[in-house]
Structure 1
Amino acid sequence: FLRRTKIDEIPQVLNVLKGEMSLVGPRPERIASLEEYDDEISKRLNMRPGMTGLAQVSGNIHLNLQDRYKHDVYYVEHYSVWLDIKIIFRTVGVVLFGEDKYVDKRLVDLNSSKRGVSV
């Protein structure tokens, strides 16, 4: 119940208030995972970690680790307030309706070189 409703994320609000995290951004990663980063994946470290992020609203648990990293890098390279707003609204949907509802409904086209974000 705690994981499904994301109540276990509430303590991270304190990290956001302290300025250690942002509301939206790449999710924090385990220190051990940093050893596996290449130059491309390392881009995700250019932003403060967030409570929610593009990968979390694009299938999250249904994505493999490399796809999560691709979403994070896309977010860093295409950051905008508008994208943050869309991620926040999608996060509400994920909490209310579950991640399964958004598995095949990507918020962005990772294969597009343009800054296009789907509506």
Structure 2
Amino acid sequence: MKRFMDITLSLVALVVLSPLLLLVAMMVFLESGFPVFFRQTRLGLGGREFNMLKFRSMRRNAALTGPYFTQANDTRITRVGWFIRRTSIDELPQLINVLRGDMSLVGPRPDVPDQRSLYTPEDWVRRCSVRPGITGLAQVRGRSLASFEQRLSFDLQYVRDVSLWHDIRILWWTAQQLGRRHAN
């Protein structure tokens, strides 16, 4: 049932949001050229690697010229990039990852391969027992201010309590947070 919801909601969202997706793609291209998408290797269900998609929000080759994580006033981020990051629009291409089966709408955020070393073997197996998500319990409870340990705790709680009803609640909480952010 979860996979059916993922496919249905992703298809509907892609159709409804297609004018916005096209507009953002054009804005990224006009400001900084191709590629419009940023692809990054992430780990999914069972620890399998996949290429996660995002709208590119940094200058081309920015990963080669700066630290792994972005910082306040990071000069690698473009003007369009600041806007699409602040509004989470940069994450919308992940709906394609959901359709491909790489991701779910709800689940732990997918890690990059280097992050595997941060987990105990038991926690890693539990975390990779579900598809990673565009949003998850850690995103609605801790946002980006949560420590790694807090995010892991939320992720493992999600895995323990996974259900369609829980996913619907997390999607609702995500929509509320996005609505509050846009109202400010």
How does 1:45-56 map onto structure 2 within 5 Å?
Answer: 45-56=128-139
Pairwise CA RMSD: 1.1
Question: How many residues are treated as equivalent by the alignment?
Answer: 98
Letter in 1 for 2:131: R
Structure holding more helix per residue: 2
The C-alpha deviation readout for 1:1-23, integer Å capped at 9, x for no partner, is 21121100111010001111111
Partner of 1:63 in structure 2? Answer: 146
Residue 64 (structure 2) pairs with residue 4 (structure 1): no
Q: Which runs of 4+ in 1 moved over 2 A?
A: none
Shift of 1:41: 2.5
Is contact 1:4-1:95 (8 Å) kept? Answer: no
Distance in structure 1 (CA, Å) of the matches to 2:128 and 2:178: 26
Q: Which has the larger radius of gyration?
A: 2
Distance in structure 2 (CA, Å) of the matches to 1:65 and 1:81: 26
The C-alpha deviation readout for 1:95-116, integer Å capped at 9, x for no partner, is 1113xxxxxxxxxxxxxxxxxx
The C-alpha deviation readout for 1:41-70, integer Å capped at 9, x for no partner, is 211111011110000000221210110010
Structure holding more strand per residue: 2
Please give the TM-score of this superposition, normalised by the length of structure 1: 0.78
In percent, how many aligned pairs have the same letter?
Answer: 45
